Chains A and B, each alone.
Chain A
Amino acid sequence: MTEFLQQLINGVAWGSIYALIALGYTMVYGVLRLINFAHGDVYMVGAMAGFYLTRWLGWGGQADSLHFILILLASMLICGLLGFIIERAAYRPLRNRSKLTALITAIGVSLLLENGGQVIFGADPKFFPTLIENKPIFQSGGLIITNIQLIIIVVSLVLMTALQYVIFQTKTGRAMRAVSFSHDASRLMGIDIDAVISWTFVVGSMLAAAAGILVGLSNPKIEPLMGLLPGLKAFVAAVLGGVGNIPGAVLGALILGISETMVSGYLSSTYRDAIAFVLLVVILLFKPAGLLGKAVPEKV
């Protein structure tokens, strides 16, 4: 029982990281109907930005939670800017072309970031500085929760709540929802579509950066290709929950994180990635629009 609870905690912490990445995917898809394959690499840039900022500021030696928050915010800003630039330079010029063109561009941007990252940062793995000392905060009969696991879950919750607030309570959020329904109708209502789409990319990329920093904190080894697999898994999570649906992305990510942990813990880690994709196929067989997604009839 203790072991099961421990695995559950491991799974929730891991799933929260997927959730932060999945939110960016789902937002961009919701607004643009574009699968932004470069999103996982923005997460990598987030972790790298944290690594270099800490080194540049000379904060690597001591653990300090104020430093952690500053690095987290700075890295989110940098990635927000990166998201803005990616959208402006790579996707906007192709907005009115076919969906396939944008998709291939997304793969191109992803490869550019991965290989550019190898050139700029070097391909060898880096040790992410200890901004917060990892220590158990709850311990009872073999059940251990570390402060970092708690921080991951709390930061994820805070960011998700903030996102929920932005989308449902602010004018920009309302504009985002409007754009996700129809570009043309939104434009007729006087919404600046370009600005809304830029904002979507900025916010999504900021969430990815936060995930990058949190991963650096809990699994302190980062490298330029680190975004490849988590990016794909987060995409799976977004589809699982119903792509375009924000609570769905979180739900999908948690299911994915927990099931991966359980498969590794009770079956074999060799099947872990296979299970993630089997899960996707099974859920889509029964709920083609994802767990929380609404099936929308195709307009003719």
Chain B
Amino acid sequence: MTHFRSVLNCFNLLVVAPILVGVLAVGCQGGGSGTGGSGEPKKSGGGASTGPIKIGHFASMTGGTANFGQSCDKGARLAIQEINAAGGVLGRPVELITEDDRSQSTEARTSALKLIQQDKVVALIGEVASSNSIAAAPVAQQAQIPMVSPASTNPEVTEKGDYIFRICFIDPFQGEVMAKFGYNSLGKKSAAIFTDVKSAYSVGLAKYFKETFTQLGGTITAEEAYSAKDIEFKAQLTKIRGTNPEILFVPGYYEEVGLIARQARELGLSAVMLGGDGWDSPKTMEVGGAAIEGAYFSNHYASDDPNPVIQDFIIKFKAAHGGEVPDAMAVLGYDVLRLVVDAIGRAGSTEGPKIRDALAATKDFPGVSGSITIDALRNARKALVVLKIENGALKFAERVEP
């Protein structure tokens, strides 16, 4: 957007490009793994036939959505410990290699490439943010390394190729459920939508919410936009306030939601706030404070769900992380790693195409976030929960089956 940025980008290109070329060259020398396709079956998929089986995790360990990547990694590492304690898979231990993409889509692509070419992982897990998954997916597809996203809900992610999977519901479902929840369960007839235009997730979710809400007979009073990293939203919120909506739908990430809630209340905007799974982080409540009380958002799991599978997981997670209650990303990180290892076991091999076939055949896998069945479009059909923010904590409000 500015000279300064583009100068920096050029700088990045200058520095990163030669490194990438180097990486690619090394990758090609290393037996044509990935790029060649069928080639020699022994070497395909990178991993050696002895030693640990490597699984790569590209995640936002730092940056705007750092909470997502860190939680997901904690969940996945807990799963790894359990799997290795139980003897690993195919008689070999499993190793998780995490690569930080700093919450940026260009970095997500580079991280995925590095994991495939340098670390020779047999499968990838990642990312949470849809824009980052979309950026990295072609890399995995081309190398024929299966990539399973724990939580990217934008439909486009798995459309990138037949090696790309996810273990969560998708935005058309999420948007539809939140529109119905607002219209039917809360009895609100008008809504304003406030979208993060820089995020594929946010734009998609807004679209599906609007479709269902207007079909039901509700009116959309205003559609406004912000950009990730903004801190000042009063201009748009003042405009929204003028249209008197009963619902303020903010399909964004936790980094901005708290501030939006604060500024909306400062301006006297009293609409009920609704959102999607991008809200799931303690930061939403920390920044939002009293302003975010009474808001609802859709999520993958509720920590106060009495289901023993969930409660057992929470006890295990708390023991491993000093009493911290796992959020949805931790649960999905745990599930995604167990599913990938399960698929490797069912494939009986570490070759990309075989793991892919095993993943595609997944049926009723018992995940903590619910039973996972992969459909023909490589998405999971799963239930969704609506949570309410009450006294700074998340309360279960409604469960919706697909």
Using a CB–CB distance below 8 Å, which chain A residues touch chain B? 3, 6-7, 10-11, 14, 37, 107, 118, 122-125, 127, 130, 134, 136, 139, 142, 144, 146, 215, 219-221, 223, 225-226, 229, 232, 260-266, 268-270, 273-274, 277
Expressed in whole angstroms, the Cα–Cα distance for A7 and B67 within the complex equals 34
Q: Which of B225, B227, B266, B289 contacts A144 (CB 8 A)?
A: B266
> In the complex the two chains form, is A3's CB within 8 Å of B232's CB?
no
Our count of residue pairs bridging A and B at CB distance below 8 angstroms stands at 97
Q: Which of A125, A215, A221, A223 has the most CB of B within 10 A?
A: A125
> In the complex the two chains form, is A144's CB within 8 Å of B231's CB?
no
Q: Which of A221, A261, A266 contacts B234 (CB 8 A)?
A: A261
Q: Which of A3, A123, A219 contacts B238 (CB 8 A)?
A: A3
Interface flag for B356 (CB, 8 Å): no
> In the complex the two chains form, is B266's CB within 8 Å of A146's CB?
yes
Expressed in whole angstroms, the Cα–Cα distance for A238 and B1 within the complex equals 19
Q: Which of B1, B102, B226 contacts A123 (CB 8 A)?
A: B102
Give the chain B neighbours of A274 by CB distance below 8 A: 1
> In the complex the two chains form, is A269's CB within 8 Å of B283's CB?
no
- Interface size grouping (class) on chain B: 35 or more
Known: A118-B62, A134-B266, A265-B235. A270 touches B197 (CB 8 A): yes
CB distance from A173 to the nearest CB of B (A): 31
> In the complex the two chains form, is B283's CB within 8 Å of A144's CB?
no
**Nearest 7 CB-CB pairs, A to B?**
A264-B235, A123-B62, A219-B231, A265-B235, A124-B66, A10-B234, A261-B235
Interface flag for B402 (CB, 8 Å): no
Give the chain A neighbours of B242 by CB distance below 8 A: 3
> In the complex the two chains form, is A219's CB within 8 Å of B232's CB?
yes
With A3-B239, A123-B63, A220-B262 known, 20 other A-B pairs at CB within 8 A are: A3-B242, A10-B235, A11-B235, A37-B4, A122-B62, A123-B103, A125-B64, A125-B283, A125-B287, A142-B268, A144-B266, A144-B267, A220-B259, A221-B255, A226-B231, A265-B238, A269-B197, A269-B225, A269-B236, A277-B2
CB distance from A190 to the nearest CB of B (A): 39
Give the chain B neighbours of A123 by CB distance below 8 A: 62-63, 66, 102-103
Interface flag for B286 (CB, 8 Å): yes
> In the complex the two chains form, is A232's CB within 8 Å of B4's CB?
yes
Give the chain A neighbours of B268 by CB distance below 8 A: 136, 139, 142, 144
Q: Which of A6, A142, A232, A261 has the most CB of B within 10 A?
A: A6
